[in-house]
Structure formats: C-alpha cells, structure tokens
Amino acid sequence: MASFEVSMMRYVNKHNLLKVGDKVLVGCSGGIDSMALLYFLNSKKGELGISVVAVHVNHMLRGKESHEDRLFTEHQAAQWGIECYSREIPIPKIFAKQGGNKQQLCRTERYAYFLEVMKYTSATKFATAHHADDQLETILMSAVRGSLQDGSFGMLASRSFGTGYLIRPQLAVGKEQIVSYAKQQNIPYREDSSNAEAAYTRNRLRQRVLPFLKAESREVSKHFVELAEDMQQDQQLLQELAREKVQQMIEMKEEEIILSAKSFRVEPRALQKRMVLLLLNYLYNPKQVPLTRQLVEQVQEMMQSSSGTVFLHLPQSYIAIRQYDVVIFRCQSLTQTSTLAPITIATDWTSFYNGRRYKVVPTDQLVHVDKAVNWYFQAPENASFCMRSRKSGDRIQLAGMKQPKKLTRLMIDEKIPMPMRESWPVITTDKNELLLVPGLRPSALVSQQKRDRDNWVLVEQFL
C-alpha cells in the first residue's frame, strides 16, 4: 500500500484538484480526518503553490464538548500558522423552530457558513476530509435507502461550490492510512462522541458492515472509490445526453412543465430514468425530497402510453397529469381552482389551454393538422360551440351506455382530484350537449372515424 502522502499527491494530480495560486479553505471539525487533511495541505503548500485557511462550525449539540472542539481547532490552527474562522450555530434552537431532519439542518447551516467564509477570504477551493471509507459508506447508504443520485454515483472528487470548487483529496486514502499518518506526524485531534452512536445509519454501517467487507478485502474502500470514478464518468455522459433531450422536449409555462409522452418514451430506457430525475429536479431540491427508485419508476411508467388520462400524486402537493399524449407537472392547489370562463370555439384556433387548442370546421373544409385528433359529429349548420367549466347537472352520453352519466360521477370514477373538478373543461354545443371532456372521455356523439351523417369536425391539437 502506498504511503499517505504518495497516495494523496497522486490523487490530487490525477483529478487536477489543486493548481498554483489556489487559496484552499479546509473544513475542520477537530477530528482526526480533518486535522490530518489540514496538516497535510499546510505541509505541502510550498510544493503545491497554494495557501491554506481553516474554518470550523460549532453546532452547539454537545454542550461543553462542542465548545472545546472549537477552542482546540482555533488553537491548533494558530500553532501551525494557519488563519482560522469559526462560528457557533444554535442548531437546537433552529431545529426547535423549524423541525425537519436535524442532520440535514446541520449540513445546510454549516455549508452556508462555509460559502460565506469562502467569499470573504476569496478562497478558490473548499476542501472536505471525506475519505475512501466515507465513499464506501455513502454508496451503501444510497443502496440501503433506494435513493438515486442526480448524475453521480457516490461523492465526486470535485464539484462546483460557490465561486470555486469543493474538493475531496482524501478520497485517495482510507481511515487506516489516516490514523497511521496522524500517528507518524504526531497530529493532535479530538474525538466526537456522536460518531459512536448507533442511532445514525452511517454509524451502524461503519460499525457493523464495513468490518465484514474489510475482512474480505483490506482494499475494499479503494475498490469502491475506483468503481465510483468509473460510474461517474459513464453517468456524466448519459446525464449530458439526458439534459439535452429534456431541454428539447419540455415547455416551461409559469409554474408548469409540459411535454409529450411519446417524445419521452422513444428514448432509450437508460436515458429515461435520468430524464425523469432532471424533471423532478425542476420541482424539488433533491437534498430535501429523496428521489427514490419507486418515484422515478412511477413517473417513467406513466409516460409509456398516450391513451386516456393518468394522475400521479407527487411529494409536496405536486401532481403529474397525462392527458392522452400531453404530460403536465404542476403544483396542486389544496383549494378549488377558479372556473373557466366560456371560450367560443369556431373556425379559428382557440388559445392553448392545458396543452391543447381547438377549432370546429365543416367536414368539407378540414385540412391536415400535425399533432391533432379529429372528432367528427353531426349538428345543425347554424350551431355554435364552446369550452367551459362543468356545471351542476352536466351529463355525458358515453358509448355503450343507455343513459347519460353524471359528469361528477365520471370524474370520481376517473379519480380526478377534488380541487380540479370545478375547473375541468368540457366542450359543448349551444344546446349544452357535451361533445368532449378533454383528457378524459369523448361522448358517444363524436367519433374519430367520419360517419355518413357527420357534418362537423372538432380538431384537438396538442402542444
């Protein structure tokens, strides 16, 4: 096994993590991992042509112990001639007020401070002390939770952060190498008592699973780092292709995302999953809403057809609606949406509404229109037509049924969410005969095949 310093320098050069003139801000908890990283970078600053600054956060979760960690980090940085910035963040008070996930809250507040210091010091790189064992744990946690990462597999060696980059040079080495290096160099450090708590998933994996894996191979963490690098390179290519495809097929309209199910499903399955992740990332912060495999597969599955209407309820009151080929992602209001003012449908196109527009022409004036469905029907020559919201008492004559069906009953059967029922459009004649409930059902009065008696055609065009 190569020495700590050799492995670190090789990894830094391989991934171009540092360049001459970089100012590196090092996140230091006072633990062995971050103190080893701070010592290493400071000892190599002349060789690398960099300058080093330290930053510490006291989350105030462990009382006196947390305060002593801060004092220790500040003192040791000063001993090594390193400028150190630190702050106390009252996580218990913030958590009591906001609730949520305490670990995520700590990370959010901590990284906000790191960005602040990075900007103040004009640092170009922010270095964390994540090592090869952490990479192994991260990959195992994703597998255990069934979560999908956006275009990555495990932690990246480098990524954008503020106006610079976040780097993880210590992915080059495992915990044993860090401990050995700290011992050789007499590097002082603090022990975090919370690292031994079995309440956290990561700690349980570290205490119970990693020893079994390392018993099979002492190099297992290194192998997972190498696997992650290979996977990340493949993922990066697929992610770039998926992003190009999504940008070409979606239309952003106010707070809606609209696309064609057909344009989605013609893409390879390997791209479809990543395209769904990108779509969901338009709606959510993936750090706050876990993008599980089940959620992604549900969205992917609803795109595999262009028949009928499908609703998919998403986290945080979002909803995905597929009406025939048109798929709409939007936030679902918990209150009733406003009713639709009547829109006259004549020989000129209406405006687009919910991804569709309409016109009605005599059958002998019909011309071919792309992305459209033709609904033939019979009505008086002087008839008029409109699109409006449903009214109390509306009924629709469905094919194969002797009696008209209440529209409210149809919407219940089709699982239309309550807030959407009042504003759901219907297309009627001037005699209030329902011709079409867009995205839901046609009435028996219309047909996609022209019949002898039909003299009108309703043209429904999709975005």
Map residue 422 onto helix, strand or coil. coil
**32 has binding-site annotation:** yes
Please state, in angstroms and rounded to a whole number, the distance separating the CA atoms of residues 357 and 337.
20
Buried b (16+ CB within 10 A) or exposed e, 34-72: bbbbbbbbbebbeebebbbbbbbbbbbeeeeebeebbeb
50 labelled binding-site residue:
no
List phi, psi (to 5°) of 25. Answer: -90, 125
> What's the CA gap between 390 and 398, in Å, rounded?
16
Both structure tokens of 419: 């807030």
Tokens linked to 208: 């119970």
Residue 30 is labelled as binding a ligand: yes
Backbone angles phi, psi at 379, to 5 degrees: -160, 160
CA neighbor of 58 nearest in space, from 46, 49, 66: 66
99 is in an annotated binding site: no
Residue 34 is assigned to a ligand binding site? yes
Give the residue among 397, 372, 376 at the shortest CA–CA distance from 451. 376
Backbone angles phi, psi at 34, to 5 degrees: -75, -30
Q: What's CA 198's distance to the chain center, in Å? A: 29
Binding-site entries: 29-34
Binding-site entries for ATP: 29-34
